């Protein structure tokens, strides 16, 4: 059902945004404080990956709203 698909995209985007916020607010800083450079780099890479997926979901949501 199309309506369920739209809800799912918005729900997933919301959850990804929450995860990205946590990574930026806590995980990266905690890794810096602990001196864990590999963890810090991983968290930054993960945040960048999430940005790309969030942008893609936004584009899909916009596309569906125009139909």
Q: Which pLDDT tens digit goes with each residue over 3-47?
A: 788 899 999 999 999 999 999 999 999 999 999 999 999 999 999
User: Contact 23/47 with Cβ under 8 angstroms?
Assistant: yes
Domain that holds residue 44: 2-66
Query: What's the structural domain count of the chain?
Result: 1
pLDDT at 2 over 90: no
User: Contact 43/28 with Cβ under 8 angstroms?
Assistant: yes
């Amino acid at each position: 059902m199309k309506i369920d698909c739209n809800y799912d995209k918005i729900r997933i985007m919301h959850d990804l945004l929450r995860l990205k916020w946590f990574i930026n607010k806590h995980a990266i800083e905690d890794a810096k404080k602990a001196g864990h450079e590999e963890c810090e780099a991983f968290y930054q890479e993960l945040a960048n990956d999430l940005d790309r997926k969030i942008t893609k979901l936004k584009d899909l949501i916009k596309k569906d709203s125009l139909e």
